[in-house]
Amino acid sequence: MVIDWKLEIGNWKLMRSIHKTVLLKETVEALNLKPGMIVVDATLGGGGHSLEVLKKIGPKGKLIAFDCDQDAIDRFEKRNEVGKAAMSGESIKLFHDNYAALKDRLTSIDIKSVDAILADLGISSDQLADKERGISFQGDAPLDMRMDLSSGMTAADVVNTYDEQQLLRILKEFGDEQYAHSIVKNIIEARAEKLFTRTSELVELIDRSVPGSYKRKKIHPATKTFQALRIEVNQELETLASFLSQAVEMLRPGGRLAVITFHSGEDALVKYALRENARGCICPPEFPVCRCQKTALINLVTRKPIVPSDGEVAGNPRARSAKLRVVEKN
């Protein structure tokens, strides 16, 4: 028998996910799900959270999931669990779109409010392993980093066209890279001779831009630069801010929002946005009565974030920086 290995590998890519879902039990429990609820998974990824949601909301519930990565949607549709769910009556709607389109997409299917929303902001293992994306600094791949491979600028575009100040801002703000000046200086000099096209080229440049002591640390010296470029390419913080505002608006009273972050920049944004929405009157203390008329839109269910157990981190080291924050709509 002759096997078409390209076809087999392609089918495996569509049907199998190597991603380990982070804080699965904690997130699903925090959403306080019940049969018949309408739930949004704003970041489908490997589908682990969505599959658990389907079990909780039952055949009369509705799951609406978003992902910029068409491969993630294809894999989820092909999974046996999803096929069984569809056959048993659960209603599933998948959108190949950024979660910043939350309100528009829900409106397009005549949904004005939902019972629960979750967002896992981590990069899936499937995307890290996809050599066409160039998100990982391991190995060699096109310098791309887009979540949606069908549109938008690439990491190569950023590295090859941004000026010195723009590159410094990205590496400092999004990567907290202490050797940003050295790395950017060498990028500017190197691209004058040859434009960057591969991840290995950038990794090699970073390696010679930092001191030996930096290379001996636990994290790879390219980690922060790659993270910063990925955030810029996908406009992650801008879309996150837009999503959070829409998520609070689209929740029904008593509905819950759960957000899992993985680095300090996005966690700070989530923490600030949720706390602002949980604030009531902002009048000066000397005012005898409230004049601002501001009321709290949400309550903070978690004053401090929930973090993975030692056991989860041991089984999945990528979970070590995860933080789960949960709020409830008033």
Q: 113 in a domain, yes or no?
A: yes
Instruction: Record the tokens describing residue 323, joined without a space.
Output: 């933080």
Q: What is the pLDDT of residue 3?
A: 29
Q: What is the pLDDT of residue 5?
A: 27
Q: Where are the alpha helices (DSSP H) in 251-317?
A: 264-277, 310-315
C-alpha to C-alpha distance for 321 and 66, rounded to whole angstroms: 23
Q: 135 in a domain, yes or no?
A: no
**pLDDT tier for residue 226 given thresholds of 50, 70 and 90:** very high
Q: 258 in a domain, yes or no?
A: yes
C-alpha to C-alpha distance for 273 and 96, rounded to whole angstroms: 26
Whether residues 32 and 83 share a domain: the answer is yes
Instruction: Record the tokens describing residue 274, joined without a space.
Output: 């949720």
Q: What is the pLDDT of residue 8?
A: 37
Please say whether the beta carbons of 327 and 277 come within 8 A: yes
Q: What is the pLDDT of residue 236?
A: 95
Which residues are paired to 260 by β-bridges? 120, 324
Residue 20 belongs to domain spanning:
5-126+236-329
Residue 87 clears pLDDT 50, i.e. is over it: no
pLDDT, tens digit, 9 for 90 and up, residues 178-205: 999 999 999 999 999 999 999 999 999 9
Q: 178 in a domain, yes or no?
A: yes
Whether residues 285 and 321 share a domain: the answer is yes
Q: What is the pLDDT of residue 16?
A: 55
**pLDDT tier for residue 10 given thresholds of 50, 70 and 90:** very low
Structural domains in the chain (count)? 2
Whether residues 268 and 207 share a domain: the answer is no
Domain boundary among 183, 205, 233: 233
DSSP 8-class letter at 20: P
What lies within 8 Å, CB to CB, of 228 at 6+ separation is 170, 171, 173, 174, 175, 177
Residue 163 clears pLDDT 60, i.e. is over it: yes
**pLDDT tier for residue 17 given thresholds of 50, 70 and 90:** low
Please say whether the beta carbons of 327 and 278 come within 8 A: yes
Residue type (1 letter), 123? I
Which residues are paired to 327 by β-bridges? 257, 300
C-alpha to C-alpha distance for 133 and 5, rounded to whole angstroms: 22
Whether residues 91 and 122 share a domain: the answer is yes
Mean pLDDT to the nearest integer, 129-140? 84
Domain boundary among 198, 217, 233: 233
C-alpha to C-alpha distance for 324 and 244, rounded to whole angstroms: 14
The per-residue pLDDT of the chain, averaged, comes to 89
Three-class SS of residue 306? strand
C-alpha to C-alpha distance for 23 and 129, rounded to whole angstroms: 21
Q: 136 in a domain, yes or no?
A: no
Place of tokens 């980093």: 145
Please say whether the beta carbons of 142 and 197 come within 8 A: yes
Provide the CATH number for the domain around residue 121.
3.40.50.150
Q: What is the pLDDT of residue 88?
A: 56
User: Which run of H or of E encompasses 143?
Assistant: none
